[in-house]
Structure 1
Amino acid sequence: MARPKKTDAPDTSQAIELTAGAIERLNCRADSKAQSFLRDTKVPGLRVRVTNTGAKSFVFESKLNRQTIRRTIGDVRIWSIDQARTEARALAVMLDRGQDPREIDRLQHESRRASKAQEVAREVTVGEAWTAYVAERRPHWGELHLRDHLIKASPGGEPSKRRGQTDRKTQPGPLAALMPMRLSSLDSTAIESWAAAEGKTRPSSARLAWRLLSVFLRWCAEQQQYAGIVPTQNPAKSRKAREALGKAGVKSDVLTREQLSAWFGQVRQIQNPCIAAYLQMLLLTGARPGEVLALQWADVNTQWKGISIKDKVEGTREIPLTPYVAHLLSTLPRRNEWVFSSVYALDMSPTNVRRRAEKAVHMGVDAPVGDVKMRGAGGKLSEPNTPHTRACKAAGVEGLTLHGLRRSFASLTEWLEIPAGVVAQIQGHKPSATAEKHYKRRPLDLLRVHHERIETWILEQACVKFDTQAERKNLQAVPSPDPILQLV
């Protein structure tokens, strides 16, 4: 057999000692194969691969657990033959130890990716993580809880929506100072410094913000992207932070039996019937202020004398529709779906005002369009703190809050020795005993017996003349007394 010439391409079926010339002459038949391999005799497993496009590279090929493993070492234009042999020997030693190079590379890749992700996470600010937290937990929160998270972290600077203060700007929330910080820097020292500053100016608001922050940090510790940069022990749960914010005082604003007459006398003189009825209903039902504001006409059952209240504890609860409360509701106008509706305008632009004025003239209505003002978003009454404060001042019972009316209901029932479980069920409190929680289920009729007794006694003490035995009026749709309001 004739010896091949040095200018001929090497035979890929035979192993040879790799040289630069042999690698240079190596080629692949483009008509039959996609690639060809030239084996090295000095290092078993080392090969030069050439594709039908002419690309050449060093590869290592061997077996592990009866499976072929092929690893690319590098381009022949970059790697020298000696470098490729050294790398091939290292891979052979690895296989001899039972280690899979592919698995090692995968672990190293994951480690590098985790390190890079951790570096990125260390640059995440508290505000960015807070936004992600609110977005994820939003479906599980109620409207008020979501509002607390947004307000406490608000940067402020927006026009105030408070009546008479529209020319002012809102103040930053208690947590606004922490939002620009890096999450990795939010440790106990930073939170204690924040608590010391906020506790001096607005401790009540800061205490709520601190509780929200504590839950937020616990959520961060459970997230894979933040777990490595947040301390294992919650940094918000610090004794110094808790002491700096102080303890919430026990609120004691409540109506006594002697003050009922003066309070009812002033509240019933409030010109807005919705506000007057709302305040009286708060006292006579003991419901939360927000629960009563959220009442819709669909929640009032005049046939079975019941009211369905959206409860933050149980979801909804049924309370009796007592005679005097039914009388109050029957006098309210049905402007929209809300029981305690408010005059509102969706668009107070000059163009819209002019159009409504022209329509009023066409209808023969003389009431000035300018009287229609924004009083409640979406047509629902907002909490009437100012009218109630004025009424309380005139009655000589200053300091009584809307929630104080709920507290007054529970306190006044002590005069009648009403069972505590009945009062708790009407007010929507959690059962405080095993028997109340697992055994006693009071139907609406049984609650009505006690609730009507409470209402009658409160009205008697308030010197409000109302005959509960008289024929009860059915709730009807009462049109608004002001025709211009129907244009809104």
Structure 2
Amino acid sequence: MARPRNSDAPDLTKPCNLTAGVIERLTCPPGKAQAFLRDAEGNGLRVRVTPNGAKSFVFEQSLKNRTIRRTIGNVSAYSIEEARAEAKRLSVLLDAGTDPRELEREQAEAKAAATAEKAAQAAAAAIEQAASALTVGEAWARYLAERQPHWGERTYADHLKAAQEGGKERKRRPGVLTKPGPLAPLMAMRLVDLDGPAVEAWAKREAPARPARVRLALRLLKAFLRWAAAEPDLKGRADPTAASAKKAREAAGRPRVRNDYLQREQLAAWFAHVRAIPNPVISAYLQCLLLTGARREELAALRWDEVNTQWRGLDLKDKIEERRAVPLTPYVAHLLAGLPRRNGWVFSSAQSLAGDTKNAARRARYHASKGTQAPEGGVSISSASGRLVDPSIAHRRACAAAGLEGLTLHGLRRSFASLCEWLDIPGGISAQIQGHAPQGVREQNYIRRPLDLLRVHHEKIEAWILEQAGIDFDPAQSVPAGLRVVASA
């Protein structure tokens, strides 16, 4: 039998001693998708060839009656000795009962897991770095956005004012800039740095100038820190006890109990000067504030559609029950009937146009008193919201003229409760009219007073206050259009 020539293609039916020349002459027989040439040295090494001439080293061996075939690599990327070494390694694995495919899968999974863990660690490090760099101001803004739906307007405004930067022109006082809020110095700090000593040092700096505002800010800060400590991504970054330290509370000082209220003998002087206020809206508002015992913002936010002339009631906002109905007493109804209906607010404010002569004169007088230059172009100093915002100035002037300095708007609410003691009025009646939370199990769970029952007592209170003030008012002759007198049994 003649030896095959060196130019002949190798015989695929027999093992062959692999050389570069043999591999170069290897071709795929016609009609086949691939062909294999076995290495004479064993170890399962083969060279695979396809019809287009692509050649690669392949390992093939049986494991538990199954054929295991793994591609080692292209013949141009591996030398024959490298391919034999890899085939030998795979053969050793199979002899030990290990499937190299499973081993590679496990290695790939382990590599992917390591990569994922590394990525997770990098992400955690980034989150840690971001959380550590988070400022109090950034967390405060997030806190306000999340909690605003659960707060009333006044609570939200208190939070904004406590942290405001300041330096902006006041709406009602042109040329005067707003002051920074008490919490403004803390907003630039990192949240992780806001601890007990930092809050204590802040309270010592701020409290001497505005102790009441600092005490409020301290309460707001305490609630904010409790919220931050409960957030999953902020745990460990915020100290929930930082604003609860005894030294911080001591630095803010103790609140003083206010005792301003109108006594019976002072009613005549107060009514005389309040009724003389040139602005009829402010005059009516202050009288209604005393005669209803309402909170200042509850009454200021009253709208015309919340005045029930048919059933003689007022639907007020309430910080305890959200809304509460109080009687529309005759004199209060008389005052409301005389108010201008500029918009939807009962106690409205004139929204004058910028540049009008009246406001120009007011601005000129204001800046002249301050020695400053009025800005060019009209700037309205009336309420932008269209309702009464701050009647305190007019009230202080009226009280000063009446010799009642120090009486605040909240003092009128205190006056209503105190004056009710002169009459044989159940305590729960006046408390319900004012919107105080029911006291005791009986008040909370058993007593339900309808508006008509409140009206019986409320009209007595109003009539007595007007009598002590020397105001001659006949409800039967003073009922405005749209109201009617309902005879009582």
Find the partner of 1:256 among 253, 257, 263: 263
Q: Does 1:41 align with 2:90?
A: yes
Matching residue of 2:300: 293
Contact 1:329–1:475 (8 Å) recurs in 2:
no
Matching residue of 1:139: 149
Counterpart of 1:251, as a letter, is R
Matching residue of 1:201: 209
Q: Does 1:428 align with 2:438?
A: no
Give SS of 2:179's match: coil
Find the partner of 2:171 among 161, 184, 189: 161
Q: Distance in 2 between matches of 1:390 and 1:475?
A: 34
CA shift at 1:149, angstroms? 1.0
Contact 1:375–1:381 (8 Å) recurs in 2:
no
5+ long unaligned stretches in structure 2: 1-13, 24-55, 62-67, 80-85, 361-376, 484-489
Q: Distance in 2 between matches of 1:39 and 1:286?
A: 98
5+ long unaligned stretches in structure 1: 27-36, 46-58, 74-90, 92-100, 354-369, 477-488
Q: Does 1:445 align with 2:452?
A: yes
Contact 1:118–1:228 (8 Å) recurs in 2:
no
Contact 1:10–1:22 (8 Å) recurs in 2:
yes
CA shift at 1:388, angstroms? 0.5
CA shift at 1:236, angstroms? 1.3
Q: Distance in 2 between matches of 1:39 and 1:193?
A: 75
CA shift at 1:225, angstroms? 1.7
CA shift at 1:470, angstroms? 3.3
Give SS of 1:41's match: helix
CA shift at 1:381, angstroms? 1.2
Q: Distance in 2 between matches of 1:470 and 1:151?
A: 47
When residues 372 and 190 of structure 1 are mapped into structure 2, their CA distance, relative to the original with a 3 A threshold, is closer
Equivalences for residues 403-418 of structure 1 within 5 A: 403-418=410-425
Give SS of 2:77's match: helix
Q: Distance in 2 between matches of 1:162 and 1:278?
A: 19
Counterpart of 2:102, as a letter, is S
- Per-residue CA deviations over 1:75-116 (Å, capped at 9, x if unaligned) read xxxxxxxxxxxxxxxx6xxxxxxxxx7666655543442232
Equivalences for residues 284-363 of structure 1 within 5 A: 284-345=291-352, 347-348=354-355
Q: Distance in 2 between matches of 1:174 and 1:220?
A: 20
Give SS of 1:378's match: coil
Counterpart of 1:150, as a letter, is L
- Per-residue CA deviations over 1:343-399 (Å, capped at 9, x if unaligned) read 11365499xx9xxxxxxxxxxxxxxxx999542222111121111111101111110
When residues 390 and 38 of structure 1 are mapped into structure 2, their CA distance, relative to the original with a 3 A threshold, is farther
Equivalences for residues 20-419 of structure 1 within 5 A: 24-25=77-78, 40-41=89-90, 44=93, 61-62=101-102, 69-72=105-108, 106=116, 109-163=119-173, 166-231=174-239, 233-345=240-352, 347-348=354-355, 374-419=381-426
Contact 1:133–1:216 (8 Å) recurs in 2:
yes
- Per-residue CA deviations over 1:304-332 (Å, capped at 9, x if unaligned) read 11111111111111111101001111111
Q: Distance in 2 between matches of 1:43 and 1:193?
A: 73
Give SS of 1:308's match: strand
Q: Does 1:2 align with 2:15?
A: yes
Give SS of 2:232's match: coil
Larger-gyration structure (1/2):
2
Identity of aligned pairs, percent?
A: 49
Matching residue of 2:58: 11
Q: Distance in 1 between matches of 2:195 and 2:264?
A: 51
Q: Distance in 2 between matches of 1:17 and 1:454?
A: 100
CA shift at 1:71, angstroms? 3.8
Counterpart of 2:228, as a letter, is C
Contact 1:61–1:71 (8 Å) recurs in 2:
no
CA shift at 1:216, angstroms? 0.8
Counterpart of 2:184, as a letter, is A
When residues 60 and 107 of structure 1 are mapped into structure 2, their CA distance, relative to the original with a 3 A threshold, is farther
Give SS of 1:317's match: strand
Q: Distance in 1 between matches of 2:70 and 2:304?
A: 94
Q: Distance in 1 between matches of 2:225 and 2:176?
A: 33
Matching residue of 1:358: none
Q: Distance in 1 between matches of 2:231 and 2:185?
A: 23
Contact 2:57–2:72 (8 Å) recurs in 1:
no
- Per-residue CA deviations over 1:250-287 (Å, capped at 9, x if unaligned) read 01110000100000000111111111110000000000
Give SS of 1:377's match: coil
When residues 277 and 105 of structure 1 are mapped into structure 2, their CA distance, relative to the original with a 3 A threshold, is same
When residues 169 and 465 of structure 1 are mapped into structure 2, their CA distance, relative to the original with a 3 A threshold, is same
Q: Once superposed, what is the RMSD of the aligned Cα atoms? A: 3.1
Aligned positions, number: 402
Q: Distance in 2 between matches of 1:169 and 1:135?
A: 26
Matching residue of 2:370: none
Counterpart of 1:13, as a letter, is E
CA shift at 1:43, angstroms? 7.1
Q: Distance in 2 between matches of 1:461 and 1:172?
A: 45
Counterpart of 2:297, as a letter, is G
What TM-score results when the alignment is normalised by the length of structure 1?
0.76
Matching residue of 1:51: none
Give SS of 1:309's match: strand
- Per-residue CA deviations over 1:439-471 (Å, capped at 9, x if unaligned) read 000001100010000000000000001013436
When residues 24 and 234 of structure 1 are mapped into structure 2, their CA distance, relative to the original with a 3 A threshold, is same
Counterpart of 1:151, as a letter, is K
CA shift at 1:144, angstroms? 1.0
Q: Distance in 1 between matches of 2:437 and 2:341?
A: 33
